[in-house]
Amino acid sequence: MGSIEQNKGAVSKLLAQVQEGTTKYLEYFSSLSLPEPSYEEGDHLDPMKPLPVEVQAARDLAVEAADELQHLLLGPMGLLLEAPGDQYYMVALQYIYRYQIHKHVPMSPPGAETTFEAIAAAANLPATDVARFMRIATSRHVFREPRKGVVTHTAASLHLAMNPMLEAWIVNIAEQFWTSVSRTVDATEKWPGSEEPNQSGYSLAHGTYENPFDLIKRDDAVHKRFVDAMSFSHMHSSFSVEHLLNGYDFSSAKTVVDVGGSQGAVATALAKRFPTIEQIIVQDLPDTVSGLEASLPTDLKPKIKGMPHDFLTPQPYKGADIYLFRWILHDWSDKYCVQILRSLIPALKKGAKVLVNDVCIPEPGQLSVKADRVLRFMDISMKAFNNARERDAEDWVRLFARADERFKFVGITVPQGARMAIMQAEWVGEDA
């Protein structure tokens, strides 16, 4: 959905769009014999499964129009006064996770109740604090207070209690990113224009001058939570590896190097979809790839191999047809992305392809205000965390040109339904 024009009669137009999109969306629920969406426990659509294209479009129309309608009705001053409230919701989520409040509310039978006093006793917390923080959450329909002092689950809080990977995502935002975002402006003042990962909002929030990734890996529990959070975000259909497989034809490649390929999920999907690929090398740090081959299906073990490699150092695997970076470069500032791309050069043969599967921010005005806001939040989150960034098309072209003029930028593809684009460059220099 494009940006909704703000002009005379905009409120009526937006109201009509809310009605149109909602009607079509509810027709889908009816076709599945599901009740209408509610905040309560019960039958709901699986949020991780893709909706039919026309149903997703209808929901987007309604949600995005409702978002802009709210902004218009608030008025200019109300719009400014509304924004700071989100920080208090994040504080509530942080408190709920820190003390595992969601685990102290009974999950069965449906509608089971407890009290703020009982939760406080179980968690060894002051009852007044439990009530205050939980009531912020209930204002967003996370938990419900049917009678004063009594609390029960809603569909949202039940998801939090029952889905450990969702919990990891929420707490990763609350404990790692949100605290870092709150110190980002301070970091820009202390280190103007810095591209160093240890001179960020995270550095100030956590009192460290270490690379955030290094610090996270030092604590096994924090590292597992971080990995689970990233895995959860990949589970959403818009981030599915299927978009990469559908958006680029790997059939002509004999060798593919998946740089920063973790534990081989993408390599496995590639090998299954494109059996003509003869060799897939999965590169990552030693502790990440150490058990990769043992975990592979028996029939894929001859084809997929793990290789310890730090992508900031020269590429050891020479002569591959494709070097793939999936959701890697957005974790790094331009300075280090250039270093990563230049590190490939000693291994490149003429005609080798470099594929980057990452976010490509559309031009202003191509998305709804709400959808654009999500991408801008992602961008600032990356800056806050380690001075990394999300990029638009011009940024990607400029990045390859800065790395070496022998990288010929071929183009950008955005598969339908995907949040990540496929950026393609070709090495037109001579063989290494």
Calpha distance 269→261 (Å, rounded): 12
49 and 89 together in one domain: no
Identify whether 322 is part of a domain: yes
Q: Tell me: the pLDDT tens digits for 184-226? A: 999 999 999 999 999 999 999 999 999 998 888 888 888 888 8
416 vs 320 pLDDT, higher one: 320
141 is catalytic: no
Share of the chain above pLDDT 70, in %: 98
Q: Tell me: the pLDDT tens digits for 291-323? A: 898 889 999 999 999 999 999 999 999 999 999
Does the pLDDT of residue 58 top 90, yes or no?
Answer: yes
Residue where a domain stops, chosen among 53, 83, 113: 83
Give which of 334, 335, 198, 347 is closest to 259, Cα–Cα.
347
- Hey, is 290 helix, strand or coil? coil
Identify whether 263 is part of a domain: yes
pLDDT at 272: 96
The CATH number covering residue 100 comes to 1.10.10.10
Q: How far is CA 184 from the centre of its chain?
A: 19
Identify whether 18 is part of a domain: yes
Q: What's the CA angle centered on 378, arms 203 and 332, to 5 degrees?
A: 55
How many domains is the chain built from?
A: 4
28 and 133 together in one domain: no
Calpha distance 375→266 (Å, rounded): 24
Identify whether 307 is part of a domain: yes
142 and 175 together in one domain: no
349 and 251 together in one domain: yes
401 beta partners: none
| Pair 135, 151: CB distance under 8 Å | no
Q: Is 151 exposed, middle or buried (0-12, 13-18, 19+ CB in 10 A)?
A: buried
Does the pLDDT of residue 129 top 70, yes or no?
Answer: yes
Count of helix runs (H) and strand runs (E) in the chain: 19, 12
The tokens for 409 are 């930028």
77 and 89 together in one domain: no
Q: What's the CA angle centered on 75, arms 74 and 76, to 5 degrees?
A: 125
179 and 242 together in one domain: no
68 and 46 together in one domain: yes
**Residue 355, domain extent:** 236-368+384-427
The CATH number covering residue 333 comes to 3.40.50.150
Calpha distance 419→1 (Å, rounded): 14
Identify whether 197 is part of a domain: yes
Calpha distance 146→152 (Å, rounded): 8
Residue where a domain stops, chosen among 178, 212, 233: 233
Its pTM stands at 0.88
Residue ranges of alpha helices (H) inside 154-291 are 155-162, 164-171, 178-181, 184-190, 201-205, 212-218, 220-235, 241-247, 265-273, 286-289
List 104, 243, 309, 330, catalytic entry? 330
| Pair 25, 19: CB distance under 8 Å | no
Residue where a domain stops, chosen among 83, 107, 124: 83
| Pair 193, 200: CB distance under 8 Å | no
106 and 135 together in one domain: yes
254 and 328 together in one domain: yes
Q: Which amino acid is at 191?
A: W
Q: Tell me: the pLDDT tens digits for 224-252? A: 888 888 778 777 778 889 999 999 999 99
Identify whether 377 is part of a domain: no
